[in-house]
Amino acid sequence: MNAHPSKVAKDLSAPNDLEAWWLPFTANRAFKQKPRMVARAKGMYYYTPDGREVIDGAAGLWCCNAGHNRDEITAAIQAQAAELDYSPAFQFGHAGGFALASRIAQLAPGDLDHVFFCNSGSEAVDTALKIALAYWNVQGQGSRTRLIGRERGYHGVGFGGISVGGIVKNRQFFGTLLAGVDHLPHTYNRAEQAFSRGEPEWGAHLADELERIVALHDASTIAAVIVEPMAGSTGVLPPPKGYLQRLRQICDKYGILLIFDEVISGFGRLGTTFAAERYGVVPDMITFAKGVNSGTVPMGGVLVRKSIHDAFMKGPDHVIELFHGYTYSGHPLACAAGLAAQDIYRDEKLFERAKTLEPVWADAIHGLKGLPNVLDIRTIGLVGAIDLASRPDAVGARAYEAMDRGFQEEGLMIRVTGDTIALSPPLIVTEDQIGEIADKLARIIRKVA
C-alpha cells in the first residue's frame, strides 16, 4: 500500500523549496516570490548565495554588536560543544553559567547583582514580570499585581510582553491578554521633536502620567512599570531629557518596581554598557538578550537587584525559591559565546566606540533630511530612524520597497516598521562604512519616491 502523500519524506536537499518554513514577522508570500536569502557573513557584511556583498545596517536584528562570525566567538562555541554540550540548570550548574552571570553583574549599575538566564528577549520580559509579581508575594504585599507598560512599547511576543507592550498589531489578534495592565502614553510628538539628535528636549512631563495611573488604581495594586529606555522596535524613540529620571522618582515615591527592557539598548548600543548608565538611573531589573553574545546563540536574561533576589532566599534550604526557568536557561554554548563576546567588547572598547561614533553617525543620517518623503529623522547612540511618508492607502509599502530594493539592488540590509526605516549597525562599523550606509540610503530613498 502506498504511504499517504503527506507522509512521503520530502527531499530536504532541494535548494528551492521555500514552502515549509513559515517565517516570523514576514510577508511570507512576497518573500517566497522574491526571496532575500543570505548564505554567510563576516564582519560588517552578509553575503548572498550568489556571492553579493550586503552591508549590515541592522546588526542582524539589533543583536550582532561585535560584527559577524568573529573567530573568537566561533572558537569558543566549537570548544564548548566538544566539551559540554548541555547541562541542566534545574538543580545543577556549570562553570560557564556562573562566569557569565558574574561578568554581567559586574557590568551592571548599582546593586543589580544577580542574573536569571533564559533564551530570548521575550522570555526575559516574561521572567522579569513574573519575578516582580512573585517578589510582592514573598514581601507579603500580594495585592500588588498590576503591571504598567507604555504605548508603542515592544517587549517581545509572550503573553506578558504583548500585554505590557503597546504595538497594536502585536496585540489585536491575541485575545484578552493579561488582566490588570495599564499603559503610560508614548513619548513621541513630531511637532515638538522632529529631527532631534539624541534625547529630545520636549516630553519629560509625560512621566507624570504615572501619577495619574497611581491615582486611578492606587499604588498598593501596582507591582511594576516596564519601559524600554529607548523604544526600539516601534521606530526608535529616544527618551525625552529627564523622562527616565522622573519615572524613577515616581516609582520610588510609591514603592513600584521599575524594569528597564534593555534587549536592544544593552551591550553598547547607546554608548554605555546599559542605557541605565547613560541616564544615571538604576532600575530594579534589567532585561537583556541579543547583544549579550552578539546574537550568536539564543540567550536572554534578567538582572535583578540584590534586595529583590534576597527577598526570595528564605524558608527551608531544600525548597525551590522561584518556580520558574527554562530547559535551556544558561545553555553552555550560549554562555561560552557570551564570555567570548564580552571579551571582544572589552578588548576592542566597542561600547566606547559607539559613543565616539555617535556624532559621526548622527551627521551622516541627519544628512538625509530633505530627501523626498522624509518626515523625520532620529538618532541616538548607534541607532537611527527615518520616517517616510506613507503612500496613499498603502501604509508600509514605501518602507517595504526600500528594504527590498536595499537588499536586492544596493547591498544594504535595513529593518523597517510601518514606513519607518530603523538602523543599528554592528558597533565595529567604521566611519567609511557609515558613509557607505548613508550613501546607499540616499539612493534607496530617491528610488522609492
User: Contact positions toward ligand PLP, by CB under 6 A?
Assistant: 62, 120-122, 125, 154-156, 228, 232-233, 261, 263-264, 289
Instruction: Report the residue closest to ligand PLP, judged by CB.
Output: 121
Q: Min. distance of Cβ 122 from ligand PLP in angstroms?
A: 3
Question: Cβ 24 to ligand PLP, closest distance in Å?
Answer: 9
Cβ proximity to ligand PLP: between 170 and 193 the closer is 170
**How many angstroms separate the Cα of 406 from the Cα of each of 229, 375, 409, 437?**
29, 19, 6, 10
CA distance 3 to 224: 55
* Measured distance CA(20)–CA(22) in Å, rounded: 6
Closest approach, Cβ 405 to ligand PLP, in A, equals 24
According to DSSP, residue 237 is labeled B
The minimum distance between CB 439 and ligand PLP, in angstroms, equals 27
Residue placing its CB nearer to ligand PLP in the complex, 263 or 339 = 263
Judge residue 179's burial from the number of C-beta atoms within 10 Å of its C-beta, 0-12 exposed, 13-18 middle, 19 or more buried: exposed
CA 131, 132, 137: angle at the middle one, nearest 5?
A: 90
User: Nearer to ligand PLP by C-beta: 240 or 291?
Assistant: 291
| Closer residue to ligand PLP, CB minimum distance, 261 or 436 | 261
∠ Cα 118 248 352 (to 5°): 65
Cβ 231 to ligand PLP shortest distance, Å: 8
| Cα–Cα distance for residue pair 81/335, rounded to 1 Å | 11
The least distance separating ligand PLP from the CB of residue 119, rounded to whole angstroms, comes to 8
Q: Which three cell numbers stand for residue 20?
A: 515549509
> CA of 190: how far to CAs of 202, 235, 247, 371, in Å?
10, 13, 22, 18
Closest CA to 42 of 87, 77, 74, 83: 74
Comparing CB distances to ligand PLP, the nearer of 184 and 364 is 184
Beta bridge partners of residue 379, listed in sequence order: 197, 384
Nearest residue (CB) to ligand PLP, 65 versus 373: 65
Bridge partners for 291 per DSSP: none
- Find, among 6, 60, 63, 71, the residue nearest to 343 by Cα: 71
Q: Are strands 45-47 and 53-56 parallel, antiparallel or unpaired?
A: antiparallel
CB of 47 to ligand PLP, least distance (A): 24
* Complex with ligand PLP: residue 417 or 433, whichever CB lies closer: 417
Nearer to ligand PLP, 164 or 438 (CB): 164
Question: Could you tell me the smallest distance in angstroms from the CB atom of residue 123 to ligand PLP?
Answer: 7
Write down the least CB distance from residue 302 to ligand PLP, Å.
Answer: 12
**DSSP-based three-state secondary structure for 155:** coil
Element (DSSP H or E) covering residue 191: helix 190-193
- CA 402 to CA 396: how far, in whole Å? 10
Q: Sign (positive/negative) of CA torsion 228, 230, 235, 237?
A: positive
- Give the residue with the Cβ less far from ligand PLP, 119 or 373: 119
Residue 29 CA to residue 318 CA, distance in Å, equals 53
Using the minimum distance from each CB to ligand PLP, give the nearer residue, 301 or 445.
301
Least separation in angstroms between residue 216's CB and ligand PLP is 26
